[in-house]
C-alpha cells in the first residue's frame, strides 16, 4: 500500500527564527566561556583554588540541565512554536540582564 503524501507549507520566516536562535546561542556560549582565559589571573588575584574559578563555568552547564527539563515540557505540551518563542524571549532577556551585571559588578 502506498503512503499518502502530506503537503507541508514552508515559510521563509523560519530562516529568521533560525538566525536569531543561532545568534543568541553564540552569544550565550561567549558569555559562558569568558571565564576560561582569566582563570590563572583570578586564582592569583583572589587567592582561590582554580577549581572554584572553574565552577563558575561549570554552573552554566549544570543549570542548563535543570532548565532544559521545563523547556522540554513546554515544547511537548504547547508545541515548538510557543516553546521556542518563549524560550528565546526569556533566554535573551536573562542573558542580557546577567551579562550586563557581570560587566558592571565584575
pLDDT tens per residue, range 17-35? 788 888 888 888 888 777 7
- Residues 67 and 81 sit within 8 Å (Cβ to Cβ): no
The domain locations on the chain are 13-105
pLDDT of residue 54: 82
How many whole angstroms from its chain centre is CA 90?
Answer: 10
DSSP state of 3: P
Residue 1 predicted with pLDDT over 70: no
The contacts of residue 81 (CB under 8 Å, 6+ apart) are none
Which whole number is the average pLDDT over 13-18? Answer: 84
Report pTM.
Answer: 0.62
Amino acid at each position: 500500500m502506498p503512503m499518502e503524501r502530506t503537503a507541508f507549507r514552508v515559510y521563509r520566516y523560519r530562516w529568521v527564527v533560525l538566525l536569531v536562535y543561532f545568534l543568541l546561542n553564540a552569544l550565550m556560549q561567549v558569555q559562558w566561556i569568558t571565564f576560561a582565559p582569566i582563570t590563572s589571573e583570578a586564582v592569583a588575584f583572589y587567592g582561590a583554588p582554580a577549581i572554584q574559578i572553574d565552577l563558575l563555568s561549570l554552573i552554566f552547564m549544570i543549570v542548563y540541565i535543570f532548565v532544559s527539563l521545563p523547556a522540554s515540557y513546554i515544547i511537548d505540551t504547547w508545541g515548538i512554536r510557543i516553546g521556542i518563542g518563549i524560550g528565546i524571549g526569556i533566554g535573551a532577556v536573562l542573558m542580557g540582564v546577567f551579562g550586563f551585571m557581570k560587566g558592571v559588578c565584575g
